[in-house]
Amino acid sequence: MPTQTMGATVAPGTATGLAEGTPTLQRRVSWGAILAGGVVAVAVGTMLSVLGVAIGASAVDATQGQSPEAGNAGIIAGAWLLISNLIGLAVGGYVAARLSGSADRTDSTLHGLSVWAIGYLLSAVLLGNVIAGTAATATQGASSVLGGLAQGAGQAASAAAGPASQMASQIDPSKLVERAQTALRTGGDPAAMSSDQRNAEIGQLLTRRVTDGNLPQGDRDRLSRLVAAEYNIAPDEANRRLQQVEQQATETAQAAERQAREAADAAATAGAVAAYWIFAAMLLGAVAAVLGARAGTRNAAVVARRYA
């Protein structure tokens, strides 16, 4: 059966659309109401959070030693923060829906979601400013402390300049260079080497053992002879001590690697749990904002009777 559209007959199955010159739909978004709702949401949430901090501080009694446990205090603080956030968003959604003047529940729902988004953006900006202010204060404090330390170090250096210059005048640079060269000479007979020479070569070989993970057989034999000569023990005893040290070093490295893996796994798990909780909190915040907005939606029948 043909239908009538804008005074023209349209056959069934024919696509229809708005004719040219048809007035567009009226915009039904009120950014002023959304901004007001977002500001109110942040203000109410902050006020309730401050109230929670005050209550928590009042519960601490350092003189009597009566304070809530750290785990319970953390759970209560997180729950209160979530409740404060939900209440603030619900109030903000109500304010935005009420001030928008719309009697359509879909429009009110969208206004509530907009308040939810604006509220989180404002909270992020405020939190960023707080963090930046705290960092600036800490930097200024650290600069003051470092300046005081530098001034004190300068005074101490000037006070010690006299005795230090006297001691420096008594030191023979040639003897220092000769001692360093003697300590660095390696490759000779361990029994004929000095203790500084043996210790220097032992240190080099152990460093190569740690960095490379293993030593050639010739270097291992050399290390055993050096240890035997340095500590005046038999070569077999030197080998036994070196094997014991290597075993301890290997076990320590394995334990450190295992602890690092466990710490990384714990950090990843904690990050995932925190992300899930943040997602849940944001989802509940959106629900609270929508419920508040729907509660603040004007009743068209009541408005019509009031202005009739």
> Over the stretch 248-264, which tens digit does the pLDDT of each residue have?
877 887 888 899 999 99
What pLDDT, on the 0 to 100 scale, is given for residue 152?
58
The pTM score is: 0.57
How many CA atoms are closer than 13 Å to the CA of 304, on its beta-carbon side? 4
Residue 308 is predicted with a pLDDT of: 53
Poorest-pLDDT segment among 83-97, 122-136, 232-246:
122-136
Side chain identity at 41, as an amino acid letter?
A: A
Residue 53: both structure tokens together: 């901090």
Minimal CA–CA distance to 224: which of 208, 240, 210, 213? Answer: 240
**Average pLDDT for the chain:** 75
Residues 197-239: pLDDT tens digits?
A: 888 888 887 777 767 767 788 878 887 888 888 788 888 888 8
Contact 36, 28 (CB under 8 A): no
What is residue 3's predicted lDDT score, i.e. its pLDDT? 46
